[in-house]
Structure 1
Amino acid sequence: MAFLVVILVVVFLKLAVKIVSQSDIYIVERLGRFHKVLDGGFHIIIPFIDQIRDEITIREQLVDITKQQVITKDNVNISVDGIVFLKVTDGKMALYNVDSYKRAIANLAMTTLRGEIGAMNLDDTLSSRDRLNSALQVALGDAANNWGVKIMRVEISEISVPSGIEEAMNLQMKAEREKRAIELKAEAEKAALIRNAEALKQEKVLQAEAIERMADAKKYEQIALATAQKEAMDMINASMSQNQNAAEFLLAKDRVMAFNELAKNTSKDKILVPYEASELIGSLSVLKEFLGKKQ
């Protein structure tokens, strides 16, 4: 009898004591109706009256959006798949408001994805993944709030286009790159021509400025020389008016300089005659002419 009691106590404790993991929650029903939610830790329920209706994880989960065929606005058939990251925030709503929140979110994601891509051209679809992700997150978030689920983020993992269209797109991109390269080359050549023209212009301007400055310097030099000569002549005239021997001094000075230059000449066909001797020869020639007339 005592052994039977021990067995009943053990069974009762096993049914009554619930230890819940930190990452999970238990939904408890009492006599078929929702009673409470058990969070992580130690809990006691009433056996046969309370029962665990479901065990739900509160960790972030992912739902795969299976690959599907979608037609774009410009009638191109493409294949798209993605992933939805979600987290249960209200276990009661997640259990009682929808049959399967994961399946519901997956189906809603596929429907929303078809609608979004159907309103976009192929080029916009391929270049606007962030826009698609945001649109899906907003649409799924509004519905998921009624299911006690929070949509953390949505990622479009792959967008596949038919091989023929992909080849045409590659040719188009190649043509665009070649066009861009030609435009860049033309712009570079244009910029080089402009720089060369500016450099030539600057060179001509600098040359003109140099010529103008040289002309100004020559002009100032000639003015200064003429001024100095005028002042020298004025000084000579003043000296001659004050001293009668000044002119003879200047003539003598010029003669000395002339004789010096003649003396430097290495030619042998020259005779230096002093000034006094030349005067004597002149006098003798005059006397000869006079005596000749007497006879």
Structure 2
Amino acid sequence: MNPFELLSQFSSVIYIFFGIFILSILGLFFIVKQQTAVVVERFGKFQSVRNAGFQLKIPIVDRIAGKISLKVQQLDVVVETKTKDDVFVKMKVSVQYMVIKDKVYEAFYKLDNPYAQITSYVFDVVRAEVPKLRLDDVFEKKDDIAIAVNREVQEAMNTYGYDIIKTLVTDIDPDEQVKHAMNRINASEREKVAAQYEGDAQRILIVEKAKAEAESKRLQGQGIADQRREIARGLEESVNVLNKVGINSQEASALIVVTQHYDTLQSIGSLNKSNLILLPNSPHAAGDMLNNMITSFAAANQIGEEMKKNKE
């Protein structure tokens, strides 16, 4: 291939690129992005809707009137309204919507400002529903409010080529003073419940303590009774033994008392640091005690005999 042929081919390629450049400048073709629709008008009148890809139009005759996104979009609307119990609240309603692919014409030509239209319907529904509810019910039934908004907006916007995907009540913000009052009420309720639990716990402790003390006293009394019973049984056995050797009951009782006296003195003397003083504390104390007791028993027997004689 000679140089003239190479030059001729190179010139042809240049002409082709130059022609494409001129045609693009004149608007013969254009490219539509994914999830986008382009409205083409011819002499100011709707001609067609072009979807994603490489598209052609007649220069000067056709023009691109506008582009519409087919993606899901979200509009956040903040509505201030009043509840049934006269509390002002601000509600944030998020509306997720998209243009219906088969209704691009309606979305482009029938509605000039879809955001303002959706906002108006949201305001209308929220201000119709919230005043029927008390503040606490607004928090509990926010899903019902969202459903009502979604239903109303869906019916209205579907005519204009818009599909409402979902409506959410994302925030409920009462007046600042109301929030402080609600927090104080909740705190008071929790303190009340805590006080009730503490009172119940204290009452249970007192009852259980009283039961424990009563049981302790009962067992203590039973122990003392058992102890005295055993002491009495032991004294009875001791008196019986002494009676068998010729010692009568009065003398036996006196002897037992004197024996316990000596036992007491012995136990006191075995303690190293005892400050107890037993009175009387003379060497003849035990003997005197024994004589006094025998004399008392004898006098008691004599009085008893005389009383029997007087009765007879």
Please state whether the residue corresponding to 1:152 is helix, strand or coil. strand
Give the structure 1 partner of residue 94 of structure 2.
Answer: 83
Which residue of structure 2 lines up, in the alignment, with residue 142 of structure 1? Answer: 155
Q: 1:6 to 1:153 in 2, by over 3 A?
A: closer
In structure 2, list runs of 5 or more residues that go unmatched. Answer: 1-13, 205-312
Report how far residue 26 of structure 1 moved.
Answer: 0.3
Residue 105 of structure 2 aligns with an amino acid whose one-letter code is: K
Q: 2-side partners of 1:188 and 1:29: how far apart?
A: 83
> Does 175-184 or 96-105 show the bigger shift?
175-184
Q: Deviations over 1:80-117 (max 9, x none)?
A: 22321111112111111111112211222122222221
Deviations 1:147-201 (A, max 9, x none): 1111111222222112322222223323444555677889999xx9xxxxxxxxx
Distance apart, 1:133 and its partner CA: 1.5
Q: Which residue of 2 aligns with 1:37?
A: 49
- The answer to whether residue 73 in structure 2 is matched with residue 61 in structure 1 is yes
Check if 1:119 corresponds to 2:132: yes
Find the aligned partners of 1:153 and 1:130 in 2 and give their Cα distance. Answer: 11
Aligned to 2:184: 171
The correspondence for 1:97, drawn from 110, 114, 122, is 110
Cα contact 2:79–2:126 (8 A) shared by 1: no
CA distance in 1, matches of 2:68, 2:200: 64
Q: Secondary structure at the match of 2:84?
A: coil
What SS does structure 2 have at the residue aligned with 1:46? coil
Distance 1:126 1:8 in 2: 66
State the TM-score, normalizing by the size of structure 2. 0.53
Read off the aligned partner of 1:170 and give its amino acid letter.
N
Match of 1:19 in 2: 31
The size of the alignment, in residue pairs, is: 190
Q: What is the aligned partner in structure 1 of residue 145 from structure 2?
A: 132
Q: CA deviation at 1:4?
A: 11
Are residues 30 and 129 of structure 1, via their aligned partners in 2, closer, same or farther at CA, if it must alter by over 3 Å?
same
In structure 2, distance between residues paired with 1:187 and 1:28: 80
Q: How many angstroms does 1:78 deviate by? A: 1.4
Superposition CA RMSD, Å: 3.1
Q: 1-side partners of 2:46 and 2:197: how far apart?
A: 71
Q: Deviations over 1:22-69 (max 9, x none)?
A: 12110111222212111111111111222111101111111121x342
Matched, 1:72 2:83: yes
Q: Give distance in 2, aligned partners of 1:61 and 1:130.
A: 21
User: 1:46 is matched with which residue: 53, 58, 62?
Assistant: 58
Aligned counterparts, 1:180-199, within 5 A:
none
Residue 7 of structure 1: CA displacement? 6.5
Name the SS of the counterpart of 2:37 in structure 1: strand
Tell me the SS of whatever aligns to 2:89. Answer: strand
The DSSP-based 3-state class of the residue aligned with 1:54 is strand
Counterpart residue type for residue 106 of structure 2: M
Evaluate the alpha carbon distance shift between residue 128 and residue 186 of structure 1 in structure 2; reply closer, same or farther with a 3 A threshold: farther
Cα distance change of structure 1 residues 42 and 4 upon mapping to structure 2, 3 Å threshold: closer
SS of 1:95 mapped into structure 2: helix
